[in-house]
Amino acid sequence: MANSSKINEIYEKIKRLEEELKQEYEKNKDNFHFRKAFNKFQFDKDYINKYKSKVINSFKYLWRERAGIILTIPIIWSVLIPAFLLDIFVTLYQNICFPIYRIPKVNRKEYIIIDRYNLFYLNKVQQINCLYCEYFNGLIGYVREVAGRTEQYWCPIKHAEKMKDNHSRYDKFFDYGDAKAYQENNQEVRENFKDIKKEK
């Protein structure tokens, strides 16, 4: 039990540091001359003029790339087909099942953030690449959170093997092999989404 308490203490420390990191990112915005107005980020005109002229033409940008890289473009973009399907099915799944399980829904907009594709210092190819990446990586984060909340409800047990990275709900799970805690407190853990409800 003491060991479990120490683990929880470390998780709390990590969360506090993550929050601190987010705040530092916010402060860093001041260095790059933009502000939010009317739900859009706007840059200072002088800053735009200084760097817009240095944008590399899309054709030159592609011309400089190796042929092998150009040939992989259809493969990269073909991955969007299953990604769109995944997006649709996961969204349907949580909208149908989460209310039944009494799990708070994941806000898709908090994960899939589309705001980099139209940056003034990118050429058209770079903008398209950014659009792809911000959608795809946001989708993976969104799906992971839906899956993490589902796992908490159905199987909140940590792995015996060390994982490379854990989802946001993992610290709520029972230790691998702790049969007593699982059998006595399973219902309590599977319903423990108070921290998410507080955020909303």
Query: H/E/C letters for each residue in the chain?
Result: CHHHHHHHHHHHHHHHHHHHHHHHHHHHHHHHCEEEECCEEEECHHHHHHHHCCCCCHHHHHHCCCHHHHHCHHHHHHCHHHHHHHHHHHHHHHHHHHHHHCCCCCCHHHCCCCCCCCCCCCCHHHHHHHHHHHHHHHHHHHHHHHHHHHHHHHCCECCCCCCCCCCCCHHHCECCCCHHHHHHHHHHHHCCCHHHHHHC
Per-residue pLDDT at 2 exceeds 70? no
4-8, 134-138, 144-148, 196-200, range with the lowest pLDDT: 196-200
- pLDDT classification of 147: cutoffs 50, 70, 90: very high
Check residues 70 and 108 and name the one with the higher pLDDT: 108
Check residues 144 and 42 and name the one with the higher pLDDT: 144
Structural domain contains residue 137: yes
Structural domain contains residue 8: no
- pLDDT classification of 46: cutoffs 50, 70, 90: confident
Structural domain contains residue 17: no
The total of structural domains in the chain comes to 1
**Mean pLDDT, residues 106-129 taken together:** 89
Structural domain contains residue 3: no
pTM of the predicted model, to two decimals? 0.80
Whole-number average pLDDT of the chain: 84
Structural domain contains residue 12: no
Q: From CA 91, how far away is CA 42, in angstroms rounded?
A: 31
**The predicted structure's pLDDT at residue 81:** 96
167 exposure class (CB count in 10 Å sphere: 0-12, 13-18, 19+): middle
Percent of the chain with pLDDT over 90: 37
Structural domain contains residue 28: no
Structural domain contains residue 15: no
Structural domain contains residue 166: yes
- pLDDT classification of 30: cutoffs 50, 70, 90: low
User: Domain range spanning residue 186?
Assistant: 57-199
**The predicted structure's pLDDT at residue 199:** 53
